[in-house]
Amino acid sequence: MVDIMFMKTHKTASSTLLNIIFRFGEKHGLKFAFPKGRNDFFYPSPFLCSQVKDYQPGACFNILCNHMRFDGHEVAKLLPADAAYVTILRDPAELFESSFHYYSRVVPLTWGIRGDDKLAEFLREPRNYYTPGSYNSFYLKNLLFFDFGFDNNLEPDHPLVERGIQTLSQHFQLVLMAEHFEESLILLKDTLCWTMEDMLFFKLNARKHSSVSQLTPELRAKALEWNGADWRLYQHFNATFWAKVEAYGRTRLEQEVKELRRRNAEMAAMCIESGGAVEAGMIRDTDLLPWQPVGENSILGYNLRKNIDPKYRELCRKMLTPEIQYLSELGVNLWLTRLWGWLKDTIF
């Protein structure tokens, strides 16, 4: 299958999956629906077809995969009726921790939080710091629910939460789980009839360990309570995920995951200098330097090995290329993204 809608959610390993989709689409000469001037579809505004580069009414694309605030009606105008709709979720407590640290400098609500551990302080009394509708406040509450186009301030028992979950169930054939990424890729391979080679990956946009807050059981419980709509969403699709695993066959899945890991290890030994990720300051090639959060250099990247077999050099490079640089290679004019990047790096 070549017609794909990948709903790229925030802080869910979606950048790694995006690289897989970029490589597949480029390899097969497929037509991407890309944004204009930036790497997302004017997020957090709801998605509109008019945000797509070179869009004309009646135009049809093969792949839609950049960050957006989902609108199923608008998306359907761009893709064939039988396109596969795929997305990925992450445990909401872990996602909240990641989002809080990554975006806190662009969320004014966090600027007045005192103490060394702002995350813990926020979770102790979130309503003391949170105001619905404040600038970028969606990064602090039910970010998944917001990404899918719903009201992120709904209480988890509100009827609209269940209605939203059921709506997504009708849209998406496959919902992947970041905590079970390799298993997810095998299910994706089966759904799309792709090959194991198509699924090869290196983990992109990972944070260095020292920047990750370890949630205590108490803080985890508070994070799940605060992100109750996301927790309901996650629980629903976690159940559907494991139902698909059972239907596929656990033994069969385990064997394929083992093979994927073996192939990935071979590629890492072939492609990556020292075999693993390094901090941003150690990356020699700026074309492989990932986008960093405001005021930090916490996102890891890679150095490409020298003397790679010419047969694999291009594949290695593409597997290590971050989203922004890959979009440029695919012909997207990112002048707005690059302007923001310049301001971010200059001011902060």
3 state DSSP class of 88: strand
CATH architecture of 4-273: 3-Layer(aba) Sandwich (3.40)
3 state DSSP class of 54: coil
**What is the model's pLDDT at position 348?**
62
pLDDT bin (cut points 50, 70, 90) of residue 299 is very high
Where do the structural domains in the chain lie, given as residue ranges? 4-273
Q: What is the pLDDT of residues 97-143, one digit of tens each?
A: 999 999 999 999 999 999 889 999 999 999 999 999 999 999 999 99
Q: What is the pLDDT of residues 15-30, one digit of tens each?
A: 999 999 999 999 999 9
The candidate with the shortest Cα–Cα distance to 199, out of 183, 179, 175, 178, is: 183
Instruction: Work out the percent of the chain whose per-residue pLDDT is above 90.
Output: 88
Long-range contacts of 231-234, Cβ-Cβ distance < 8 Å, separation of 24 or more: 231/92, 231/156, 232/156, 232/161, 232/162, 232/165, 233/89, 233/144, 233/145, 233/148, 233/161, 233/164, 233/165, 233/168, 234/89, 234/90, 234/91, 234/92, 234/144
Cα–Cα distances in Å, from 329 out to 304, 326, 332?
17, 5, 7
pLDDT of residue 297 exceeding 90, the answer is no
Residue 146 and residue 10 in contact, taking contact as beta carbons nearer than 8 Å: no
pLDDT of residue 78 exceeding 90, the answer is yes
Which amino acid, one-letter code, is at 106? V
**What is the model's pLDDT at position 170?**
96
pLDDT bin (cut points 50, 70, 90) of residue 290 is very high
